[in-house]
Structure 1
Amino acid sequence: MTAQLTDLYRRPTFPDMVSRSLQLEPDRVAFITATGEMSYEQLRRLIARIAFAMQDAGVKSGDGVAMVAPNRPEAFATLIAAMSLGARYTPLHPMGSLADHVAVCADAEITTIVADWSRYGEHAAALAADLELRPQVLHIGGGSSSDVLAGPDTDEPIPALARESDIGMLGYTGGTTGRPKGVMLPHRSLVTHLHLALAHWQLPTEIRFLGTTPLTHALAGVVPTVLHQGGSMVLAKGFNPVEFCEAVQRHRITATMLVPSMIYVLLDHLAEHPADLSSLQTILYGSAPMSPDRLEQALDVFGPVFVQFFGQSEAPNSVTALRKEDHDLGRPERLASCGKPHPTLDVAVLNDDDQPCGVGERGEVCVRGPLVMDGYWKQPEVTAETFRNGWLHTGDVGYFDADNFLYLTDRKKDLVISGGFNVYPREVEDAMATHPAVAGAAVIGVPDPKWGEAVMAFVVRTPGATVTPEELIAHVRELKGPVHAPKRLEFMDALPLTGLGKIDKKQLRARFWGDRDRAVN
């Protein structure tokens, strides 16, 4: 195919979609924060300015760029700017530890770290010093030559150097082997996610979206969806039920996204402190299964405004959707479903031989289509196993009912989803094992009314050790951050073992999950 025909059929990249959305309504408000408003045109110029500053600093196509920053418009602008240059963007979770960030940046071959100066300047310097590649550190608001915001304003358009097949995002998910996996999401996948979200999230006509989850998490995929429909994004520093209610009332918020544990906290808060949240027309929820009982309570409080999305890092956020009309109290069993697949994708429940399961028959949920990742960075064996027989094997166990609604019932992977965050027990167990008082540890997820699942550790102490649960929990928090720190810890004389000598986690779980139909919460 000639170069001219290649350009003729060129498909847009993720930053192309953002750039074009911003040009449609330049005077609209893109972001609202505690310090003021930013218009679409101001955001477009900011992205271009950061992109050219990064280019002047040597960032080029194929480079690895990582960022650690709180929720602020400049953080979103920076990730789009990096992608527009053809770079691979890797988010660093603000709650992650230095050790975790070092492991991710080393594996991702990061050559540039961008950090919020006031919050993470020292952290980024320590991170760069610990890496063999010695990446350069650029700052957001650093007030120095390394500040990507200090470059001159420009009338130039946002660069369009990336191509659809380029890896736009290299995000990391933990692993049962203890080694994090880099999920390669090409622009094809990111743009497909945007199209699916536009089609199925049922956002209101007038969008004022309250963002309380991290831009390093699913919120980064929500912002372009809002901008594409001419909406405004109100950015919060985090989630607090009092501040959430105040923001909804002050800005007449029409849409938001919450993980189930946030909804539980909000429901408990509203029971004691009623507030007028009637402006909300759409509440997106996902990242973890939600208790059907609490969902029924939420429908009573908020009305038919809920839309559930299901996906994973390898097929982000848009594999299925449970639409507003599907949250039918007359069909309460539907509240345990994660909805129907999108027509753009093939979604199947397969048995151990990768053959389709019948209606109501449980198997592994598998996906294929343009949303799916390119594979795991530098892990061809794991990629091949995950992609066997032409399907992305999600590790989730579930079944379809006669009406094609998907229900998740268990996980093949050793994974805990706590407060919407993935916690791999092996990582917590490895951190626990570094304490001299720990002879052995096993970590599981247990049902929790606030977190959905809480991280629980079972520990065997070394002979004569007098360590307390609080000390061990603090130890994990220091090494891995608060998300991985166990909410509960119990000492045992010995961990139960299977006939093969492996820790019998089924026995540990049985005490908490009992005969529940779903071993997820």
Structure 2
Amino acid sequence: MFDLGRSFLASVERRPTAIAVADGKLHKTYETWFNDIQSVARALEGFGLRKGDRLLVVMQNRWQMATLHWACQFSGIIVTPVNWRSTAQDLEFFIADTAARVIAYDESASEAVRTSPAAQSLVHITAGLAENQGGHEFESLLGHQGETVIRAAPDDVSLMLYTSGTSGKPKGVPRMHRAERTAALAHVAQNLYRHDECTLGVMPLYHTMGVRSLLSMALVDGKFVCIPKFDPQATLEAIEKEQVSNLYLVPTLYHMLIEHPDFSPERVRSVDKLGYAGAPMSAGLIARVEEAFNPSLFVNHYGSSEIYTFTIDQNASRKPGSSGRAALNQRIRVVRNGAETPDEEVAIGEEGEIIADMNGDEAFQGYWQRPDADRKALRNGWYFTSDTGYFDAEGDLFVTGRVDDLIITGGENVSPAEIEDVLSLHPQVEEVVVVGLPDERWGNIITAFIKPRTSIEEKELDRHCIERELTRFKRPRRYVFVNEIPKSPVGKILRRVLREQGDSSTNSQ
């Protein structure tokens, strides 16, 4: 089986003059980009990185980040991209957890890097900074000749993504070349991509959706159009200019795009195929998106960083709310909540925990240095997703929520525990519970139910979150002040009751 480096090289040999990547006015062919990627791969080795080492990348979607990703695929270095909105405190954790010795970042993360003591001790690669902060400017890594770097094998680790957990500490998800390549091939097949496809690279490259878009385009000699940060106007302009043929977005971005005053079906007529993942899409939004784009294919994709694809529905509007059926490389079951084995399947229509077969070709092998997380999630050859759902009478899967109440907002996984820990430190907060409430734009909005000791304003709580360096997308968008937090007779917090209260108060406004 090919590793990813050889996969890219095959595209270079097939269509060397095809445009591989676009970023604003910059366009690079496969042949030109390959030369850049090789130069960067040699530079990374010059910084002392070797096969199996981790490169920490904190950038928005730009061609430099995509180049670093591919350079690592040739060198066998494990590319480790993290959220560009990470705080200095976040970086301290990532650096300690990965033992990274080199960090690559752009302006979006420069302040966090500058104020992180651990980051200051690393070799720096910078891209597009307004002011030079030292280190190696990305452009200085280009234009160097030397041997062709191609050191990775299919069973080597390609990248490590981080996913949130109920403990509040992110978990590293190492993924091998063979799993990444298989996932990208399945993505091509399930989304019916052809040679010369053009996709919008707006889903972040620290997210499995962004990585899949990047890899799948290379497999079909396609074009990856970088959008550093989602902006509806810039996105519409890029779709028109680059003649984007497919979109793979979270529902939030579709909502923002079609609601923008400058949107019109004529501006996006080049788009023929749509896909979404990361969060459910409401029936109303599905209908509006389908009317706006009139696609030949509209795919609902349900998966995770650990095992890329669980289920696929290639006709999303057929049965709104359904996640379809098991994908090409997977088997899915629904078992009793709290089940210890994969054999405790529930009846049709009964809600339980969704589990996936670890023998699937897209599966990871276990979390990075987290045996506790492995024990919780990996049992008897199956991955216990912590998602809840059920099969209907026709065999379609419906995902209903999270066993551990992880909130998915705008395609990002957010741990309530982390936010609760921050808010609980405010002296006027007696109790706090954070839940996600349904929202058409964001999928879920982070809502904090507060039992205050004395009267307190929302602005004060938001200021407290900022001072505690809670990442922006994790801060509550709504606060609800209550006299009591509902609990069961044994003291268990009844989050379901809070969600119902929040829904009813929203609907009554």
The normalised TM-score by structure 2 is 0.90
User: Equivalent residue for 2:462?
Assistant: 473
Q: Which secondary structure does the structure 2 equivalent of 1:177 belong to? A: coil
Q: CA deviation at 1:199?
A: 1.3
User: Equivalent residue for 2:387?
Assistant: 396
After TM superposition, the structure 1 = structure 2 runs for residues 256-271 of structure 1, keeping only pairs within 5 Å, are: 256-269=247-260
> Which amino acid in 1 is paired with 2:230?
F
Aligned with 1:130 (options 118, 122, 125): 118
Q: CA deviation at 1:135?
A: 2.9
Alignment of 1:309 onto 2:301: yes
- Partner Cα distance (1:199, 1:282) in 2: 13
User: Equivalent residue for 2:374?
Assistant: 383
After TM superposition, the structure 1 = structure 2 runs for residues 3-402 of structure 1, keeping only pairs within 5 Å, are: 11-116=1-106, 118-127=107-116, 129-130=117-118, 134-140=121-127, 146-151=136-141, 153-154=143-144, 156=146, 158-203=148-193, 206-217=196-207, 218-269=209-260, 275-304=266-295, 305-316=297-308, 318-323=309-314, 326-327=315-316, 331=318, 334-351=319-336, 352=339, 353-355=341-343, 356-368=345-357, 369-402=360-393
Q: CA deviation at 1:205?
A: 5.0
- Partner Cα distance (1:191, 1:418) in 2: 28
- Partner Cα distance (1:214, 1:191) in 2: 19
Q: Which secondary structure does the structure 1 equivalent of 2:259 belong to? A: helix
> Which amino acid in 2 is paired with 1:335?
P
Q: Which secondary structure does the structure 2 equivalent of 1:19 belong to? A: helix
Q: CA deviation at 1:386?
A: 0.7
After superposition, the C-alpha distances for 1:149-181 in whole angstroms (9 at most, x for unaligned) are 314624556522223222222221121122221
User: Equivalent residue for 2:432?
Assistant: 441
Q: CA deviation at 1:400?
A: 2.5
Q: CA deviation at 1:193?
A: 0.9
User: Equivalent residue for 1:4?
Assistant: none
Aligned with 1:429 (options 420, 427, 432): 420
Does structure 2 retain, via aligned residues, the 8 Å contact 1:327–1:335? yes
After superposition, the C-alpha distances for 1:197-224 in whole angstroms (9 at most, x for unaligned) are 1211123554222222222222122112
Question: Which segment drifts farther, 140-149 or 413-422?
Answer: 140-149
Does structure 2 retain, via aligned residues, the 8 Å contact 1:50–1:149? no
Distance of aligned partners of 1:156 and 1:362 in 2 relative to their CA distance in 1, 3 Å threshold: farther
Q: Which secondary structure does the structure 2 equivalent of 1:502 belong to? A: coil
Which segments of 5 or more consecutive residues in structure 1 lack a partner in the other structure?
A: 1-10, 515-521
Q: Which secondary structure does the structure 1 equivalent of 2:167 belong to? A: coil
Q: Which secondary structure does the structure 2 equivalent of 1:453 belong to? A: strand
> Which amino acid in 1 is paired with 2:335?
L
Does structure 2 retain, via aligned residues, the 8 Å contact 1:296–1:335? no
Alignment of 1:451 onto 2:442: yes
- Partner Cα distance (1:414, 1:399) in 2: 17
> Which amino acid in 1 is paired with 2:248?
M
Does structure 1 retain, via aligned residues, the 8 Å contact 2:323–2:396? yes
Q: Percent identity?
A: 27
- Partner Cα distance (1:167, 1:474) in 2: 41
The normalised TM-score by structure 1 is 0.88
Q: Which secondary structure does the structure 1 equivalent of 2:124 belong to? A: strand
Distance of aligned partners of 1:152 and 1:182 in 2 relative to their CA distance in 1, 3 Å threshold: closer
Distance of aligned partners of 1:186 and 1:206 in 2 relative to their CA distance in 1, 3 Å threshold: closer
Q: CA deviation at 1:145?
A: 6.2
Q: CA deviation at 1:408?
A: 1.0
Q: CA deviation at 1:278?
A: 1.7
Alignment of 1:504 onto 2:494: yes
Q: CA deviation at 1:225?
A: 0.6
After superposition, the C-alpha distances for 1:445-481 in whole angstroms (9 at most, x for unaligned) are 0011211110000122334xx5410221243245122
Does structure 1 retain, via aligned residues, the 8 Å contact 2:103–2:123? yes
Distance of aligned partners of 1:322 and 1:178 in 2 relative to their CA distance in 1, 3 Å threshold: same
Q: Which secondary structure does the structure 1 equivalent of 2:462 belong to? A: helix
Alignment of 1:492 onto 2:482: yes
- Partner Cα distance (2:294, 2:410) in 1: 23
Question: Which segment drifts farther, 403-412 or 413-422?
Answer: 403-412
After superposition, the C-alpha distances for 1:26-52 in whole angstroms (9 at most, x for unaligned) are 111112222321111121111111110
Does structure 2 retain, via aligned residues, the 8 Å contact 1:44–1:158? no
- Partner Cα distance (2:19, 2:160) in 1: 30
Does structure 1 retain, via aligned residues, the 8 Å contact 2:64–2:138? no
- Partner Cα distance (1:149, 1:243) in 2: 25
Q: CA deviation at 1:148?
A: 4.5
- Partner Cα distance (2:135, 2:476) in 1: 42
Which segments of 5 or more consecutive residues in structure 2 lack a partner in the other structure?
A: 505-509
- Partner Cα distance (2:213, 2:324) in 1: 19
Does structure 1 retain, via aligned residues, the 8 Å contact 2:126–2:137? yes
Q: Which secondary structure does the structure 2 equivalent of 1:75 belong to? A: helix
> Which amino acid in 2 is paired with 1:421?
E
- Partner Cα distance (1:418, 1:106) in 2: 27
- Partner Cα distance (1:158, 1:405) in 2: 48
